[in-house]
Amino acid sequence: MTKAEKVNFVIDTLNDIYPTIPIPLDHKDPYTLLIAVLMSAQSTDVRVNQITPLLFERADNPYDMVKLSVDEIREIIKPVGLSPMKSKGIHGLSKILIEKHNGEVPANFEDLEALPAVGHKTASVVMSQAFGIPAFPVDTHIHRLMYRWGFSNGKNVVQTEKDAKRLFPEELWNKLHLQIIWYGREYSPARGWNLNKDIITRTIGRKSVINEYNKKASR
């Protein structure tokens, strides 16, 4: 199989499995998505979706959020982890949105990444899922699968994003990155991985990964 054939196999397979794909984090607008994505760092979407309703009941816009203290935000979001850093980020970015952006979430990478606690991945998710602007946010699932499939060297997420954008058509990025995330969770997890269920890796995967899997399975 050529690299182009492998890419097409991934696209076709994911479209068969996930013809439509939900956005994992519950939100109603760009602001609530931004806050949810920030909260999801080193946490799970399930946990975040349990906590965001409690926070958004108190404040679902930057004007109400800055009325809360950092300690009040921290107490609400404590179950998602890293609450000291996240609460400061939520309060700080809300203040900046009011002061510099009329309370609106900016639809560009430069302004998003200038906000407290907002890195490139968070900005990419907001650009893609809130504004429909082509982006390819790379999380742990995408990073793992791009390596397993032989599409990237696994060195770092920056390289993985570059490789993904180079290989896949831009018009597919916003849907495809979500499809890969869901596929990674269901068929190719980091733990409890069953190669027999992982049709994509079994068909096109990096030989070294498959050989290592088979060695472990034969022990």
pLDDT digits (tens, 9 = 90+) for 96-120: 999 999 999 999 999 999 999 999 9
pLDDT digits (tens, 9 = 90+) for 158-210: 999 999 999 999 999 999 999 999 999 999 999 999 999 999 999 999 999 99
pLDDT digits (tens, 9 = 90+) for 58-78: 999 999 999 999 999 999 999
| From 26, 78, 139, 165, active-site residue | 139
User: Around Cβ 207, how many Cβ atoms within 10 Å?
Assistant: 8
| From 6, 60, 121, 198, active-site residue | 121
Length of the chain: 219
Residue 139 annotated to the active site: yes
- Tell me the C-alpha distance between 21 and 25, whole Å: 12
In the chain, % of residues over pLDDT 70: 100
How much is the pLDDT for 218?
A: 77
Helix (H) / strand (E) containing 208: helix 207-218
pLDDT at position 86 over 80: yes
Q: What are the structural domains, with CATH classification, of the chain?
A: 3-20+137-218 (1.10.1670.10), 30-130 (1.10.340.30)
